[in-house]
């Protein structure tokens, strides 16, 4: 039996495996914006990623989107990715909300990168 659905963190995955007796787990939406989940489950990483790790991963994701979609399409496409990453930045809720709103309306990826602190001081442009 393979277990899937609503699995987002190592403790809940371990509990679900124990309760169901499943032999495997399939991760889908639980891994969106959280590629660290796989390393955590394999015991290679213990804690949550740092905000800097999240920013680097998101920067890498932006680069890959541009490679595949071009700048214009990637700018719009990435708007669905930001809600997966912003909560992992460790911001207070009001700051996270402001950042999320600014990212959703950013007209260029240069602007989104500036808002994320990729090349410019983090969040300075969103206030």
Domain coordinates in residue numbering, the chain: 2-41, 51-126
Residues 6+ apart with CB under 8 A from 37: 8, 9, 10, 27, 30, 31
CA proximity to 50, closest of 124, 120, 117, 125: 117
The rounded mean pLDDT for the chain is 89
CA contacts within 13 A on the Cβ side of 38: 8
pTM of the model: 0.79
Q: What is the pLDDT of residues 71-87, one digit of tens each?
A: 999 999 999 999 999 99
Q: Which secondary-structure segment (H or E) carries 4?
A: strand 2-4
In this prediction, residues 53-79 reach a mean pLDDT of 96
pLDDT value, residue 29: 84
Percent of the chain with pLDDT over 90: 62
Q: From the CB of residue 121, how many other CB atoms can be counted at a distance below 10 Å?
A: 8
Would you say residue 120 has pLDDT above 50? Answer: no
121, two tokens: 């001081």
Q: Which secondary-structure segment (H or E) carries 26?
A: strand 24-26
């Amino acid at each position: 039996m393979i277990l899937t659905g609503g699995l987002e963190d190592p403790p809940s995955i371990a509990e679900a495996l124990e309760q169901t007796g499943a032999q495997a787990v399939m991760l889908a939406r639980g891994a969106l914006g959280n590629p660290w989940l796989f390393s955590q489950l394999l015991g290679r990483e213990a804690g949550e990623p740092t905000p800097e790790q999240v920013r680097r991963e998101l920067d890498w994701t932006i680069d890959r989107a541009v490679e595949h979609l071009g700048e214009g399409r990637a700018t719009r496409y990435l708007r669905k990715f930001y809600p997966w990453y912003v909560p992992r930045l460790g911001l207070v809720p009001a700051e996270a909300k402001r950042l999320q709103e600014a990212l959703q309306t950013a007209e260029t990826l240069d602007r989104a990168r500036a808002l994320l602190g990729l090349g410019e001081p983090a969040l300075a442009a969103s206030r």
